[in-house]
Structure 1
Amino acid sequence: MIAAVPADDLHIREHRWGMNVSVLDESHRAREAAPHRRMRLDNGSHRWLIPALLIVVAVTTVALHVHIYTKVGPIDELQHIDYLYKSPALVAPGDRIGQDAMREEACRGLDYPGFPLPACSTGTVYRPGDFQEKGYNTASANTPLYYSITHGLATVLLRVTGMTSLVTAGRAVGGLWLGVGLLMTYFAGQRLGAGRWQLAALLIVIACAPAVVYPSATITPDAATFAVGAAVLWVALWWEKRPQRRWPMIVIVTALALAMKMTNIVVIGAIGLYMLLRLIQLHLPRQNDSEDVAPDESPAGRSWIIGGTALASSALVVTLGWLAVQHALTHGDLSDIPMNQQFTATTLVVSPLVGNLGNWITPLSNAWASVGNPELTTVLQRLGQLLIAAGLIATALFGERSLRIRTMAWACLATAFVGASVFIVASFYAQSVYVPPPARYGYTLVPMMVALTATCIRTRTATAIMVLIAAGTLTLSFARLA
C-alpha cells in the first residue's frame, strides 16, 4: 500500500530536489571546466615552470660549491682529473697520472691535511710517486664515457665564459648533470602518479643535500650518477607502456649506465628485481581488488620476460666485456698500488656481510667532505636522507593504492637492504678483494626513492609543508655555501 503524499508537501520536496539538482549540475559543470583551465595552464608557460626551477637550483648550488671549493677532493679526484685531461683516450690499469693533473693538485692543494705536496710551479716536471697511490691512476676501472662528455662540455664553457681552467669548467658541468637527473626524476615521478609540486619540493630538498652537491661539483663519474639512476627509472616506466616495441631502449640505457660507472649496476639490479616481482605476481592467485588497491596496468608475462632478459643480458655483456678489455690492457705490477694492497683479501668474512645490511637505505648519509658552514651541512645532510628513507619504507610497508608502486618500493627497499652485502661477495669472488661498500655506492637508488616518496604526499597540508621545507632548505643551502 502506497501512502498518500499531500500535494503541498510533494511540491515542497520537488522544489528542494530541484534546488539540489541544479546545485549538482553547477558543481558538475565546474568540475568539467576545471580540467580545461588546468589544461590551458599546462599547455602554456606554466608547464615548464617547475623544470626550469629545478635546472636553476641545480646549476646555482653547484656553481656556488665550485666557487668556494678550490682544492682537489680527497676521494680520488686527482685520478679523475687526470682522466678528464686524457679523455677521450682510455686509461689502462697500471697507467700513471700526467703532468696536468699533478700540477692542478700541487697548485690547488689537497683537501686532506698532512699529505705533503710538491710546490706549485708552471715549469716543474712532477714525479707521480710524490702523489697519492704512488701516482697510479686508480680511475682506470672506469670507461672514458663520463670524462669525454664532461671534457667536451667543459671545452664549450671555456670558450663561452672565458674560464681558464679545464677542471673548474668540468666541475661546473656537474650542474648540468644534476639538472638532467632532477628533470628525469621529475618526469619519472609523474609517470608513477606523483604530483608536480610534491615532486618539485622533494627534489629541491635532495638537490641541496651536501652528499648530492659535492659529487656534482667535483670531477668524478658520481657527478652523473643521479642522472643515470633517474634515466634507468624513467626508461623502465616508459618501456612498460609499449613493452613489445621499446625493449631495445632497455638495452641502450643499461649499457650507457654501466659505461658511466660499474657501480651503477645497483639501480639496474633494483629494476631487474621489480620486473621479476611483477612477473611472479602474474602467476599468483588473483586477489579481489580491495579499496586500498587501485586497478593495475601491467604488461603481459611474455613482456616482463623480454624486458628482464634484455636488462640482464646487456648488463652481463657490458660487464664481462669491460673486464676483458681491462685485463687485456693491464700492464706493470698492480700489486704495487697501495689501494690494491689495502683491499686484497684471501678469505670471505661473514661479519661485514651482516654489518652492511641496510647500508644503502640511507645512501646520502655521508657528505663526502665538509664544505661551507659545518652546522648547516649537518642539518641539510640529515634532512634529505631521512625524508626519502622514511618515504621508501612507508610506501613499501604501509602501501600506496597502486600495487605497481608498492612492488617497486619493495624492489628498491630489498636492493638497498642487501645490496652492500651482495657487493662484498661479488667483489671477493670476482677480484679477490674486500672493499667496504660506502653508502654512496647506493646513490643510483636516490631518484627512485624520491619518486616513490613523492607518491606518499597526497594531502594539501602535506604538500604545503613540503613546499615550505623546500624553501627553507634552499635558503640554508645558499647560506652554507655563501
Structure 2
Amino acid sequence: MTTEVAADPGERVRRAVRWVLAGIVVLAIALVATSVQRQAPFSPYDEYVYFDYLTKVSSQGFVRTGEEVGEFARAELECRGVASYGSYGDGCGIGDVEDDALFPYHGLTGADLYTPVYFAITRVLAQPLTWFGMGLLDAGRMVGGLWLAAAASMTFLALRRFRVGLVPAAGLVLLGMTTPVAQSSFAFISTDAAAITAGAALALLTARVITGASSAWWLVPVGLLGVLAKPQAIGALGAALLIVVVHALVTQGRWREASAWRGAVLPAAVAAVVALAAQLVWGRIRSATAVGPGANLGVGSEHLPPDSIIRLLDNVLLNVGAVQPVEAQASMEIAVAVATALACAGIVAGVIGLSRQPTPKGASTARSWAIGTGALAVLMIPVLMLMTWVLDGSYFEPPLRYGAALLPFLLVSAGMLLARSRAIGWAVVALSAVLIGLSWS
C-alpha cells in the first residue's frame, strides 16, 4: 500500500504530461487545418517554388539548378497569386503558362538550394489526403500541422527535461505557436517548418545529453538530418554543440578529463564536420546536375557594407519568432515582443547564475544552455552572411526567418527562468490563448 501511494504523485505528473502533449498535438493540427481552409494566395516566403518542388519530388527526386517551374505550379499561381504581392501570369485559366517573363524569377525555380528531405516527407504524408479529393497544395499545407505538432511536442519535452512546470512549459509552447515565424512556416508549404522541427529535435536531444540521459553521439545523425532538411538548421546544431561542449568542459569543470573530451568534444566535432561535409556534397551534386544558370533572386550585392556584421548581431536575439519583410499582425508583434523579452531575460539569468531551474546542478545546465543559445542567436545571421560572401563573392543579408531553427532553444532559455512559477506561467498561457485566437483566426 505504501509503495502504491508513493508512486501516485509521479504517475499523476506523467498522466498530466501525456494529456498536455495530446492537447498540443490536437491544437497544432486544428490551427493549421483551420488556416488552410482560409488561405488562398501563396505565401510570400517562396511557397510557390516549394510547391513546384513538392509536385516533382516523387517523379524526379529533386529540382535542378536552372530548371523551370512546372505548368502545374504556374497554373496554381495564376489562380491564387501571392499574398502581399498580387497576381502573376495572364489570369486564372486564361491563355497558357509559357511566358517566363510573367512569373517570379523569370520562370525558374528558386528552390534548388534544398535537398529533397523536407519535400519527400511532406509529399508522403500529403498523398493520402489527395486520394479523398483534396488538392496537392492544400494537402501539403495540411501536413504543416504534423510538423507543428512534432516541433511543439519536442520543445515541450525539452522544457520538461529541465523540470520546468507544466503550466510555464505549456504557456511557452503556446507562445511559440503565436509568433509570425510559426504561422508562416507551418500554415504553408515551407522549409522553415523543417528548420524549426530540426531545432526542436536538437533542443530535446541536447537537454537529454547535458542531463545524462543520452549520448552526445546522437547529435551526429540528428544534426545531419536537420541540416539536410534545411541548411539554416546549422544554427540550431551549432547551439547544441556549443552547449554540450561548454557544459562538459567549462560549467562542470571537466576540461582536464579525457572522458569529457571523448564524450562531448569528439562527437561535437564529428557532428560539425559531417554536417558541413553534407552541405559541400549537396553543393557538388547541384553543380553537377544543373541544367542552366540559377534563378536571380534579386537579393545579392557585390559589396559588403562595413557595418553589416555589427548591424546584424541582434537580428535573432532581439526578434524572436519574427519574419520579414511582410508586416505582421499586431497580435503577432506582441508575441514577438513577449517571446524576445522572456528569452533574453532567460539567457541573461542563466549566464549570471540567477536561473530558477530546479534540476540537480541547475545553475550549471542553465549557464551552459544560456551561453550556447545566446552565442548562436547573436552570431548566426552574420556568420551566414559572411559564408555567402566568402563562397559566392556576393553580399546577402539573411532574413530574420533564417534564425527560426533557434526558436525552440530560445523558448527553453525562457523556461529556465520561469521554472516553476505558476503565476507567470498562467499569465503566459492566458496571453498566448488570446494571441492564438487573434493571429490564427
TM-score computed with the length of structure 2 as normaliser: 0.89
Find the counterpart in structure 2 of residue 366 from structure 1. 323
Return closer, same or farther for 1:66/1:384 CA change in 2, 3 Å cut-off.
Answer: farther
Matches of 1:179 and 1:282, distance apart in 2: 33
Report matched runs for 1:27-176 at 5 Å: 36-42=7-13, 44=15, 46-88=16-58, 89-113=61-85, 116-121=88-93, 124-159=96-131, 162-176=132-146
- The answer as to 2:250 corresponding to 1:281 is yes
Q: In structure 2, which of residues 158, 161, 164 is the aligned counterpart of residue 191 of structure 1?
A: 161
Cα pair 2:346 2:413 within 8 Å, conserved: yes
- The answer as to 2:283 corresponding to 1:323 is yes
Find the counterpart in structure 1 of residue 272 from structure 2. 312
Matches of 2:425 and 2:139, distance apart in 1: 33
Any idea what the Cα deviations from partners look like across 1:428-472, whole Å, max 9, x if unmatched?
11122211122211111111111121121145xx32332233233
Query: Which sits farther off after the overlay, 420-429 or 122-131?
Result: 122-131
Return closer, same or farther for 1:299/1:105 CA change in 2, 3 Å cut-off.
Answer: farther
1:338 is paired with a residue whose SS is: coil
1:402 is paired with a residue whose SS is: helix
Deviation of residue 229 (structure 1)?
Answer: 0.2
In structure 2, stretches of 5+ residues that fail to align are 356-361
Q: RMSD value over aligned CA atoms?
A: 2.8
Cα pair 2:210 2:244 within 8 Å, conserved: no
Return closer, same or farther for 1:239/1:465 CA change in 2, 3 Å cut-off.
Answer: closer
1:343 is paired with a residue whose SS is: coil
Cα pair 1:367 1:381 within 8 Å, conserved: no
Matches of 2:32 and 2:251, distance apart in 1: 45
Q: In structure 2, which of residues 354, 357, 369 is the aligned counterpart of residue 399 of structure 1?
A: 354
Find the counterpart in structure 2 of residue 338 from structure 1. 296
Equivalent residue pairs, number: 430
Find the counterpart in structure 1 of residue 305 from structure 2. 349
Cα pair 1:424 1:436 within 8 Å, conserved: yes
Deviation of residue 375 (structure 1)?
Answer: 3.5
Query: Which sits farther off after the overlay, 53-62 or 258-267?
Result: 53-62
Deviation of residue 61 (structure 1)?
Answer: 2.0
Deviation of residue 220 (structure 1)?
Answer: 1.1
Deviation of residue 144 (structure 1)?
Answer: 0.7
Cα pair 1:189 1:199 within 8 Å, conserved: yes
Return closer, same or farther for 1:191/1:325 CA change in 2, 3 Å cut-off.
Answer: same
Matches of 2:403 and 2:207, distance apart in 1: 20
Return closer, same or farther for 1:479/1:439 CA change in 2, 3 Å cut-off.
Answer: closer
Matches of 1:386 and 1:40, distance apart in 2: 34
Query: Which sits farther off after the overlay, 409-418 or 302-311?
Result: 302-311
Cα pair 2:239 2:372 within 8 Å, conserved: yes
Deviation of residue 124 (structure 1)?
Answer: 3.3
Deviation of residue 271 (structure 1)?
Answer: 1.6
Find the counterpart in structure 1 of residue 359 from structure 2. none
Structure showing greater Rg: 1
Find the counterpart in structure 2 of residue 24 from structure 1. none
- The answer as to 2:437 corresponding to 1:478 is yes
In structure 1, stretches of 5+ residues that fail to align are 1-29, 287-297
Report matched runs for 1:394-433 at 5 Å: 394-400=349-355, 401-433=362-394
Amino acid in structure 1 at the alignment position of 2:370: A
1:134 is paired with a residue whose SS is: helix
Matches of 2:125 and 2:373, distance apart in 1: 33
2:142 is paired with a residue whose SS is: helix
- The answer as to 2:422 corresponding to 1:463 is yes
Matches of 1:118 and 1:264, distance apart in 2: 38
Cα pair 2:89 2:97 within 8 Å, conserved: no
